Amino acid sequence: KQEVTQIPAALSVPEGENLVLNCSFTDSAIYNLQWFRQDPGKGLTSLLLIQSSQREQTSGRLNASLDKSSGRSTLYIAASQPGDSATYLCAVRHVGPNDYKLSFGAGTTVTVRA
């Protein structure tokens, strides 16, 4: 069974500092990994999708890396802003008969202090 872990569960940084969020998964047989942002009481907003054949994806200040063999992904957010405060979740779609499923981590809640 695929287990997805996000550490730390919460993170507080001063504005301007770079953010590093970690995601690990136990089964490396995945099709892709997706990073989401969730604001309190809201749905999930897709940030980046990394296919299993890719090493990284970039969008503006966001960069996500994927090391499939070690079961790790890292989301980097450069020059953090108070508006980056949210919960960030990662999810993997794994190879196999259950490939319709996304397995989610519990998320990292980020607070950026002005």
Taking the C-alpha atoms of residue 58 and residue 54, their distance in angstroms, rounded to an integer, is 11
- Examine residue 54 and tell whether it contacts another protein (CB under 8 A): no
Q: Which residues in the 92-111 window bind another protein by CB under 8 A?
A: 93, 99-107
Considering the complex, what minimum distance in angstroms separates the CB of residue 65 from another protein?
A: 18
Contact of 7 with 107, CB cutoff 8 Å: no
- The gap from C-alpha 29 to its chain's centroid, in whole angstroms, comes to 17
AA identity, residue 98: N
Question: Quick check: 76 binds another protein (CB under 8 A)?
Answer: no
Does 40 bind another protein (CB under 8 A)? Our answer is no
The answer to whether 76 touches 84, Cβ cutoff 8 Å, is no
Closest approach, Cβ 32 to another protein, in A, equals: 6
3-class DSSP assignment, residue 83: helix
- List interacting residues with another protein (CB under 8 A): 4, 31-32, 34, 36, 41-46, 49, 51-52, 89, 91, 93, 99-107
